[in-house]
């Protein structure tokens, strides 16, 4: 847009307010790669994510749910392909679904009490929100459908007919209720600061 | 311990507040003007209004010795108000910025002040005798975003700045002719203007809301939007710091903090109350709130719980059809976000009283 010389219908309107003046400033954040402000994060490939998944499953089979949870929260996939991130989300949700409701709070308190525990719960919160985003996106039919189905790894009758809207709702509904109850417990232990950190953090899962 | 002194000035957010050296005058940034309140007995009464800005005043600071007031505003200007027998005389300062000015503080020497801005620069302003004019020099590199707060080192040369690019930085703001050459410190030895002496960010890299040097100047603390405070201990110039300690809390983010001696930091923000942190180079932890520590220390709120009698309860049920008490008040003294904390009274290197102001239009003077 050129410099406005005289009052016209266009200049009297407030359309000029929508001009992105940052784009016109040479060294503004728009014309600058803000990711260079942060230290680079280690790249995790899909194969690595699958390897973690394998180890975590082994821990789960061995009955060490807490170790499995800590294990997958200590290795979040911050930098990596969509597939790697998706795989890790499934790993985390698998662990969450395998833990009984009565065990949640004591387990979270134990993790929070250990060094680096606060960081772990922040990561857990990130995956809870990501999981919720994935389930809601699939239930309204606009997003990819894979995450919702993967939330119920146990082969139920429904997962085969998940094209039916009823069934899809039911599976996402159960996944959502698991995530919501975890969300409540995490906030109890790590406080509202935990939600704030998820929103501010530049490291996205 | 004595109860805090609460001054509810008006129902409007307070962007910043500053007391004069004798603590008799209180300057409040309210909307597009600065209001001066004078102490009358136990209260503060409006006595003067400084009108000169035409947009929101974002920050105000009174120089303790000269009595000059500096203000800055979203209208991109800073004004220095010189006290005179007929009132305060404003002088415009050329900041040369094209975005809002966000934060202003006098250096301890009072010969210059720093203005943070949304233009990714900090203007260091000083008085040029030959031109009879306040001029500014820009600290530019490597700031990538809006400056939210600045804090001076006791030597009046080093300046810490917090930014929305998630970094807290330490710069040299050395002005030839105005400043004495500073003593070498862990931050640096030779300090020409715009030397970057340190650049810090914490793990999750939230916006930095507040920065502060410790009384000795040998440590830096900053509060970020990830509900954390981070303390940095530098080791030597050009070396990585001795220790960077980050404390993530369960609370909402802190907007302002200050040091009480070398081993205590007091911070307040979106939780509407002040919290105490204690520690040192080995580690820091949250030591608790400053409000619960005092029995009955919440004027007009703390006693209500006890006075809730059975008679009252049935009266409420009869009148309103419910048992619940009036729950429209927060249990804290401040009823909204605390945006600024400042030391009020010091003795023997410790802050004995401090003042806070917030979005609720209150200024509160606390005992530490």
Sequence-distant (≥ 6) Cβ neighbours of residue A117 within 8 angstroms: A111
Instruction: Verify whether the Cβ–Cβ distance B144 to A190 is below 8 Å.
Output: no
Quote the CA–CA distance of B342 and B357 in Å, as a whole number: 9
Quote the CA–CA distance of A146 and A143 in Å, as a whole number: 9
Burial of B311 (0-12, 13-18, 19+ CB in 10 A): exposed
**pLDDT tens track for A71-108:** 999 999 998 899 999 999 999 999 999 999 999 999 99
Min Cα–Cα distance to chain B from A141, Å = 33
- Domain containing B92: what range? 3-176+184-291+328-365
With 90 as the cut, is the pLDDT of residue A136 above it?
no
Closest-CA residue of A relative to B249 is A193
**pLDDT tens track for B232-278:** 999 998 899 999 999 999 999 999 999 999 999 999 999 999 999 99
CA dihedral B56, B255, B82, B63 (to 10 degrees): 180
pLDDT the model gives residue B86:
92
Contacts from B71-75 at CB under 8 Å and sequence distance 24+? B71/B29, B71/B34, B71/B104, B72/B101, B72/B102, B72/B103, B72/B104, B72/B115, B73/B32, B73/B100, B73/B101, B74/B100, B74/B101, B75/B100
pLDDT the model gives residue A5:
55
Decide if B309 is inside a domain.
no
B199, B227, B283: best mutation site toward chain A, by most A Cβ within 10 Å? B227
**pLDDT tens track for B182-193:** 999 999 998 999
Q: Which residues of B touch A111 (CB under 8 A)?
A: none
With 50 as the cut, is the pLDDT of residue A146 above it?
no
B249 part of contact set with chain A, CB < 8 Å = yes
With 60 as the cut, is the pLDDT of residue B296 above it?
no
Rg (chain A; Cα; Å): 22
Quote the CA–CA distance of B131 and B142 in Å, as a whole number: 30
pLDDT the model gives residue A17:
81
pLDDT the model gives residue A21:
80
Least confident of B299-308, B326-335, B350-359: B299-308
Decide if B221 is inside a domain.
yes
What proportion of chain B, given as a percentage, has pLDDT over 70? 93
- Partner residue opposite A118 with nearest CB, options B166, B225, B248: B248
Quote the CA–CA distance of B89 and B27 in Å, as a whole number: 15
Min Cα–Cα distance to chain B from A188, Å = 9
pLDDT the model gives residue B309:
65
Please report, in angstroms and rounded to a whole number, the separation of the first and last CA atoms in chain A.
39
**pLDDT tens track for A160-185:** 444 444 545 666 777 889 999 999 99
With 60 as the cut, is the pLDDT of residue A151 above it?
no
pLDDT the model gives residue A14:
79
Decide if B130 is inside a domain.
yes
Interface of B with A in 132-191 (CB under 8 A): 144-145, 165-167
Instruction: Verify whether the Cβ–Cβ distance B166 to A37 is below 8 Å.
Output: yes
pLDDT the model gives residue A112:
94
Q: Which residues of A touch B196 (CB under 8 A)?
A: none
Mean pLDDT of chain B: 91
pLDDT the model gives residue A171:
66
With 60 as the cut, is the pLDDT of residue A144 above it?
no
Helix then strand count (H, E) for chain A reads: 10, 0
Sequence-distant (≥ 6) Cβ neighbours of residue A94 within 8 angstroms: A53, A56, A57, A60, A153
pLDDT the model gives residue B342:
97
| A37 band by pLDDT with thresholds 50, 70 and 90 | confident
More reliable by pLDDT, B363 or A143: B363
| B324 band by pLDDT with thresholds 50, 70 and 90 | low
Decide if B270 is inside a domain.
yes
With 90 as the cut, is the pLDDT of residue B174 above it?
yes
Instruction: Verify whether the Cβ–Cβ distance B251 to A190 is below 8 Å.
Output: no
What proportion of chain A, given as a percentage, has pLDDT over 90? 51
CA B250 to chain centre: 22
Decide if B126 is inside a domain.
yes
| B6 band by pLDDT with thresholds 50, 70 and 90 | very high
pLDDT the model gives residue A42:
86
pLDDT the model gives residue A35:
76
Q: Are B63 and B110 in contact (CB under 8 A)?
A: yes
Cis (ω within 30 of 0) for the bond into B142? yes
**pLDDT tens track for B55-65:** 999 999 999 99
Provide mean pLDDT across the span B104-126. Answer: 96
Which of B86, B68, B75, B61 lies closest to B32, judged by CA? B75
With 90 as the cut, is the pLDDT of residue A137 above it?
no
Q: Which residues of B touch A194 (CB under 8 A)?
A: 250
**pLDDT tens track for A113-130:** 998 899 999 999 999 999
Query: Could you give phi then psi for residue B114, rounded to 5 degrees?
Result: -115, 135
With 60 as the cut, is the pLDDT of residue A2 above it?
no
- Partner residue opposite B144 with nearest CB, options A37, A119, A122: A37
| B304 band by pLDDT with thresholds 50, 70 and 90 | very low
Quote the CA–CA distance of B153 and B160 in Å, as a whole number: 7
Instruction: Verify whether the Cβ–Cβ distance B226 to A200 is below 8 Å.
Output: yes
A26, A114, A194, A196: best mutation site toward chain B, by most B Cβ within 10 Å? A196
Min Cα–Cα distance to chain A from B304, Å = 27
B206 part of contact set with chain A, CB < 8 Å = yes
With 70 as the cut, is the pLDDT of residue A143 above it?
no
Min Cα–Cα distance to chain A from B249, Å = 6
Instruction: Verify whether the Cβ–Cβ distance B252 to A118 is below 8 Å.
Output: no
With 90 as the cut, is the pLDDT of residue A19 above it?
no
ipTM > 0.85 (yes/no) = no
Provide mean pLDDT across the span B350-366. Answer: 96
Domain count, chain B: 1
Q: What is the CATH number of the domain that holds B205?
A: 2.130.10.10
Sequence-distant (≥ 6) Cβ neighbours of residue B64 within 8 angstroms: B20, B21, B110
Interface of A with B (CB under 8 A): 27-29, 32, 34, 37-38, 118-119, 122, 190-194, 196-197, 200-203
Q: How many cross-chain Cβ pairs, A to B, lie less than 8 Å apart? A: 68
Which of B199, B195, B103 lies closest to B158, judged by CA? B195
With 60 as the cut, is the pLDDT of residue A145 above it?
no
Decide if B134 is inside a domain.
yes
Instruction: Verify whether the Cβ–Cβ distance A201 to B226 is below 8 Å.
Output: yes
What proportion of chain B, given as a percentage, has pLDDT over 90? 79
Least confident of A26-30, A58-62, B356-360: A26-30
With 80 as the cut, is the pLDDT of residue B298 above it?
no
Decide if B319 is inside a domain.
no
What proportion of chain A, given as a percentage, has pLDDT over 70? 76
B329 part of contact set with chain A, CB < 8 Å = no
Min Cα–Cα distance to chain B from A117, Å = 10
Decide if B279 is inside a domain.
yes
Provide mean pLDDT across the span A4-27. Answer: 72
B163, B207, B226: best mutation site toward chain A, by most A Cβ within 10 Å? B226
Provide mean pLDDT across the span B292-317. Answer: 56
């Amino acid at each position: 847009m050129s410099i406005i010389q005289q009052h016209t219908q266009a200049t009297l309107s407030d359309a000029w307010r929508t001009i992105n003046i940052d784009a016109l400033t040479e060294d503004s954040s728009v014309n600058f790669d803000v990711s260079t402000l942060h230290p680079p994060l280690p790249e995790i490939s899909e194969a690595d994510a699958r390897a973690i998944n394998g180890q975590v499953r082994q821990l789960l089979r061995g009955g060490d749910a807490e170790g499995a949870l800590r294990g997958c929260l200590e290795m979040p996939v911050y930098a990596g392909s969509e597939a790697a991130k998706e795989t890790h989300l499934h790993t985390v949700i698998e662990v969450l679904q395998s833990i009984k409701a009565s065990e949640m709070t004591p387990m979270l308190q134990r993790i929070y009490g250990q060094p680096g525990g606060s960081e772990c719960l922040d990561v857990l919160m990130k995956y809870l929100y990501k999981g919720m985003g994935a389930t809601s996106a699939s239930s309204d039919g606009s997003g990819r459908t894979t995450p919702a189905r993967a939330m119920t790894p146990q082969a139920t009758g429904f997962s085969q007919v998940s094209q039916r809207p009823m069934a899809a709702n039911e599976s996402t509904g159960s996944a959502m209720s698991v995530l919501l109850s975890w969300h409540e417990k995490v906030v109890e232990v790590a406080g509202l600061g935990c939600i704030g950190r998820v929103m501010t953090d530049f490291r996205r899962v | 311990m004595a109860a805090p002194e609460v001054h509810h000035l008006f129902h409007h957010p307070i962007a910043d507040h500053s007391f004069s050296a004798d603590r008799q005058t209180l300057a409040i940034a309210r909307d597009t003007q600065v209001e001066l309140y004078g102490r009358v007995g136990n209260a503060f009464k409006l006595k003067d209004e400084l009108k000169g800005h035409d947009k929101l005043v974002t920050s105000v600071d009174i120089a303790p010795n000269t009595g000059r007031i500096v203000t800055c505003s979203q209208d991109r200007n800073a004004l220095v108000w010189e006290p005179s027998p007929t009132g305060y005389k404003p002088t415009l300062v050329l900041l040369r910025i094209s975005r809002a000015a966000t934060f202003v503080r006098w250096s301890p020497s009072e010969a210059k002040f720093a203005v943070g801005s949304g233009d990714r620069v900090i203007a260091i302003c000083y008085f040029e005798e030959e031109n009879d004019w306040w001029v500014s020099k820009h600290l530019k590199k490597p700031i990538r975003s809006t400056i939210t707060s600045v804090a001076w080192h006791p030597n009046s040369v080093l300046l810490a700045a917090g930014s929305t690019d998630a970094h807290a930085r330490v710069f040299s703001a050395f002005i030839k002719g105005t400043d004495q050459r500073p003593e070498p410190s862990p931050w640096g030895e030779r300090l020409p203007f715009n030397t970057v002496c340190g650049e810090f960010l914490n793990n999750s890299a939230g916006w930095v809301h507040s920065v502060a040097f410790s009384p000795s100047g040998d440590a830096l603390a900053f509060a970020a939007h990830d509900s954390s405070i981070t303390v940095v201990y530098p080791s030597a110039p050009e070396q990585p710091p001795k220790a960077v300690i980050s404390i993530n809390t369960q609370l909402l983010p802190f907007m302002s903090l200050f040091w009480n001696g070398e081993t205590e930091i007091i911070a307040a923000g979106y939780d509407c109350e002040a919290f105490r942190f204690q520690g040192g180079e080995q580690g820091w932890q949250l030591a608790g709130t400053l409000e619960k520590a005092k029995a009955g220390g919440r004027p007009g709120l703390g006693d209500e719980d006890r006075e809730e009698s059975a008679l009252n309860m049935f009266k409420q049920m009869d009148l309103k059809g419910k048992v619940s008490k009036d729950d429209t008040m927060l249990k804290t003294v401040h009823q909204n976000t605390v945006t600024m904390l400042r030391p009020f009274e010091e003795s023997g290197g410790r802050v004995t009283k401090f003042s806070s102001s917030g979005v609720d239009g209150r200024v509160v003077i606390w005992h530490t």
